[in-house]
Amino acid sequence: MHFPSFDYETKLIGSGFSRICGIDEVGRGPLAGPVVAAAVLISAELFKDLSGFKGINDSKKLSAKRREKWYEILTKREKIKWGIGIVSEKIIDRINILEATKLAMMEAIKMLVRQPADMPASAMFQRGEPDFLLIDGNFTLEIPDLSQKAIPRGDAKVISIAAASIIAKVTRDRMMRQYHEDYPEYGFDKHKGYGTAMHIEMIKKYGPCAIHRKSFEPIKGMMKFVKSKSL
């Protein structure tokens, strides 16, 4: 099995960067719930020894038990800083999932550097922390004068991004289990809001609830059908 490495981070250190932040998100595809992003800044001192990261991987390739274990390690270890950004389904419906994903990533970075939520991007990184972003995906963020690189499938290649994917995934899964307490008929504890056959069947049976994304199909079509029937 292929595991992510510190190769990208090490090359950037050689190019003069020292505070490299990995960013990933979870929850672009589900029919319900928020999109959650994490930003992780691992101290350059830790790049020299892979033993403390042995077995880390893209969150999708780890069992729930292993993800929880890694979450505890990553969020409590010295020399690792992290931040979380959460954007609700209501905002997703308003601005679309791509923009919501970018917003969640920006919020994660702001939490990482302990900046106010209303801090403009142009003023966020004057202290130089982070000084480089490694972003899972095929887009970068609109942050002036901050070096960035988009890496498709970065969570399987870069340890900093893999760490972000784990923190984001565990955070979102915990949220969806909590939503299950409020809306038990949908089974959010099992599918976490993704469009499984069981989930779609429950939406057809009970209709969408407050945390469903009304701009996503098949819910959008269902909403139009209900409206047309009421006319």
Could you tell me if 176 and 36 are in contact, meaning their C-beta atoms sit under 8 angstroms apart? no
Q: Is 16 left (phi over 0), alpha (psi -120 to 50) or beta?
A: left
Residue 187 Cα to chain centre, angstroms: 22
pLDDT for res 230: 33
Q: What was the pLDDT predicted at 65? A: 96
Going from N- to C-terminal start, the domains of the chain cover 7-179
pLDDT at residue number 209: 96
Class of domain 7-179: alpha beta
Both structure tokens of 27: 């929850």
- 3-class DSSP string for 139-165: CCCCCCCCEEEEECCHHHCEHHHHHHH
Give the integer Cα–Cα distance in Å for 119 and 116: 5
Q: What are the pLDDT tens digits along the chain (231 aa)?
A: 578 999 999 999 999 999 999 999 999 999 999 999 999 999 999 988 888 899 999 999 999 999 999 999 999 999 999 999 999 999 999 999 999 999 999 999 999 987 666 666 656 555 557 999 999 999 999 998 899 999 999 999 999 999 999 999 999 999 999 999 999 999 999 999 999 999 999 999 999 999 999 999 999 998 765 543 332
Please check whether residue 18 is in contact with residue 156, taking contact to mean a CB–CB distance below 8 angstroms: no
